[in-house]
A and B are shown apart, each in its own frame.
Chain A
């Protein structure tokens, strides 16, 4: 591994540019809320961010990937109502492995 520590100038510039831009997106939300006076409706909408983002992240896997994933997501949701986090993850992952073998 002779070139494990090689560092290209243009690559470093790209990494720094990506880092700065990504940090701006991360700190931006905190800055906006700090300096903007949010009305009651905006604060109410802001409270919906966690479920809205989580649903958006999983939706393509749940609804558009295939029957195995859709069924496994349903089983996971059922498990989530009675099991702790780790148990839910184990049940969900086992379900998707089994269902993919069974129905593709």
Chain B
């Protein structure tokens, strides 16, 4: 990142613990905002005949909201493991981009930790980690705080939803659906680096909107992201951006 690399004063009292707590605090709003969606997923899964244990295992082992919803739409009795596995691969393919980007910010992570750090990487904790890395070195403890709370929250809400059923009819009530949009807009502000960022955002936003209106499922995220990245690649100028790291 070319953002200001202001070296933050190193905290001298158990820095790992403080970093972990800072991660927990940063992700708390997202964890709470996931409640209506998680409860809804659990309730829908129960309607499809999944037991609370099966919902718990899905959220624990898969931990990917959009692909879990897609799987419910494709659900058959008995479950078609090949089709569902392939659908998960396609729906979650955007993770490739998230991981590739985050991997350039893991200087403080021991190499053996990285395969474990990849497991709970979702849009929300990934975005928070990227935002952190733009202003301070990303520590394993901070990432662990982000990921642990968001992961436990998703497992908790979805399992609870399967147990109590349809308490949440529509996350749009009280604007819960907009919390993630607002959070991502707030995070976006931190990635602004001038007019070229504007071009990236315009390409991504335009293509994502068009894809959402024309393609099924969650393809719009990958389509928009690739358009934004392509715009950045086209704007690359070897003379001035030669060592933009």
Chain B contributes a number of interface residues (CB within 8 A of A) equal to: 105
| B227 within 8 Å of A (CB atoms) | yes
Q: Quick one: which of A15, A45, A85, A89 contacts B236, CB cutoff 8 A?
A: A45
Separation of A101 and B82 alpha carbons in the complex (Å): 45
Residues of chain A within 8 A (CB-CB) of B204 are 51-53, 55-56, 59
Name the segment of B15-23, B84-92, B136-144, B149-157 touching the other chain.
B84-92
* Cβ B81 vs Cβ A13 within 8 A: yes
Query: Once the chains bind, are A40 and B178 in contact (CB under 8 Å)?
Result: no
Which residues of B sit under 8 angstroms from A55, Cβ to Cβ?
188, 200-201, 204-205, 208, 224, 228
B98 CB contact (under 8 Å) in A49, A80, A93? A49
CB–CB A18/B88 < 8 A:
yes
| Size of A's binding interface in residues, CB under 8 A | 76
B53→A6 contact, CB < 8 A: yes
| Of the residues B82, B121, B185, B213, contact of A92 by C-beta under 8 Å | B185
Residue pair A30, B118 in contact (C-beta under 8 Å): yes
Q: What are the residues of chain B within 8 A of A100 when measuring CB–CB? A: 175
User: Is there an interface contact between B221 and A23, defined as CB atoms closer than 8 Å?
Assistant: no
Residue of A nearest to B75 (CB): A14
A interface residue numbers (CB < 8 A to B): 1, 3-30, 32-34, 40-64, 69, 72-73, 76-77, 79-81, 85-86, 88-89, 91-94, 96-97, 100
Closest 9 CB pairs of A and B: A29-B99, A52-B228, A56-B224, A92-B182, A17-B85, A48-B232, A10-B78, A49-B101, A29-B100
By a beta-carbon cutoff of 8 Å, the part of chain B in contact with chain A is: 1-2, 26, 29, 33, 50-54, 57-58, 61-64, 67-68, 71, 78-82, 84-89, 92-104, 114-115, 118-119, 121, 123, 127, 130-131, 134, 163, 174-189, 191-192, 197, 200-201, 203-209, 212-213, 220-233, 236, 238, 241-245
